[in-house]
Amino acid sequence: MTTSPATESTIAPAAAERRGVDYVWAILRLALGWVFLWAFLDKTFGLGFATERDAAWIEGGSPTTGYLSFGTKGPLADFYQGMAGSSFADWLFMIGLLGIGLALVLGIGMRIAAAAGALLLVLMWTAALWPENNPFMDDHLVYAGLLIGLAMAHAGDTLGFGRTWSRLGIVEKNPWLK
């Protein structure tokens, strides 16, 4: 089948625009992946940004104590404060940060990363109800929405291993792993 020159002139710009959109999604995926990975690295090793060396996880510090003890407010504060510093909360939080960050940076397991990341972010939002500068909206909800958009846009396929990951036998048999 041949296309007319008029058809070709409309296809090429649309394809180029789609490619540009793919790169925007990929860059946002990498940036958000780094946000999660950086939080994991800083809390693990106490790199001196949000976590000092003596409070690092590898030094016996708790990655959840500070936020859950002092950053929570609102109707669920007591619930979250009760979890502060527990091994369960620390391990779950850190595994979540690492897993979500790696999945986003590598562009694999985007559905799981989006679901887990959105859940983590919404839980963090509920820990500090109500936001100080807005009746309900804050960056946690925006990031949660962005994660869902990244998965829906197949953002792992550009500048990532999403296509290769999707062709693995186990992923083909279990599409939720995409």
Could you write out the DSSP letters of every residue in 107-142?
A: T-SHHHHHHHHHHHHHHHHHHBPSPSSSSS--HHHH
- Over residues 1-29, the pLDDT tens digits come to 555 555 555 567 777 778 899 999 999 99
Angle in degrees, 0-180, between the axes of helices 110-127 and 87-106, rounded to the nearest 10: 140
Tokens in use for 109? 């397991």
* Mean pLDDT on 154-175: 95
Confirm if 46 and 38 have CB atoms less than 8 A apart: no
What are the C-alpha distances in Å from 84 to residues 18, 32, 90, 96?
Answer: 45, 25, 8, 16
Question: Which residue, among 120, 118, 124, has the nearest Cα to 67 in the 3D structure?
Answer: 124
- Over residues 134-150, the pLDDT tens digits come to 888 999 999 999 999 99
Question: Which residue, among 145, 146, 149, 155, has the nearest Cα to 109 in the 3D structure?
Answer: 155
- pLDDT at 18 (0 to 100): 81
Angle in degrees, 0-180, between the axes of helices 5-45 and 87-106, rounded to the nearest 10: 150
- pLDDT at 1 (0 to 100): 52
Q: Count how many Cα atoms sit within 13 Å of the Cα of residue 175 in the half-sphere of its side chain.
A: 2
What are the C-alpha distances in Å from 34 to residues 4, 134, 136, 139?
Answer: 45, 26, 26, 16
- Over residues 69-117, the pLDDT tens digits come to 999 999 999 999 999 999 999 999 999 999 999 999 999 999 999 999 9
Average pLDDT of the chain to the nearest whole number: 92
Helix (H, G, I), strand (E, B) or coil at 52: coil
- pLDDT at 58 (0 to 100): 95
